[in-house]
Structure 1
Amino acid sequence: MRILHLIHSEGVYGAELILLYLAREQQRRGHEPLVGSIRDPRTDQTPFEALAQSWGLPVVPIRIAPRPTPAVVRSLLRTVREVAPDVLHSHGYKPNILLGPLP
């Protein structure tokens, strides 16, 4: 099962570690977890993304403007459609709000 985990992260804290432990266990059980990391457009690789990759987890960097405009929502939805997950797991308020238009 392809599982896309989405998070907007400012560092490596509790929520980020929970996501990584969960994704690693899903991978160990034969699933295909992906870590979708939401950040501002000019952000380079974050420490969270580097840690996820060091754990062998694929990272999907999602660079969108910080304000939830219709264009930002469309961009995020486009990325989700391109990744085509079976399960979409959002971690935190930003992905929850931005993914509101999903059926």
Structure 2
Amino acid sequence: MKRIALCALLAALAGPALAQFSDEQNRAYGVILPMLEELTPDAPVLSACVVTVAAPQEIAALAASGGPSMEAGQLVSAVLARPETLSCIQNTMAQR
């Protein structure tokens, strides 16, 4: 049930392309979202873009982390700094 709600939220906030996550991507999203919620009300969009841009090994590491941590935060920060992630955020926010 939570996955359905998550996908619906992502579809509403970030467009259909970002809502099509695998189980592993959904687990990674679940790790990323609480960390970014502490920083911004746009955390769902930022989290979706991080999941969309992150490499498969980065998604696997986040999904396996079990929750927010210093290592997960460093990985999220690195992905957020990428031009592709910034572009995803800008494009998604423009669609709102």
In which range does the TM-score fall when normalised by the shorter chain? 0.3 to 0.5
Q: Which has the higher helix share?
A: 2
Which protein has greater RCO, CA pairs closer than 8 Å, 6+ apart?
1
Q: Which has the higher strand share?
A: 1
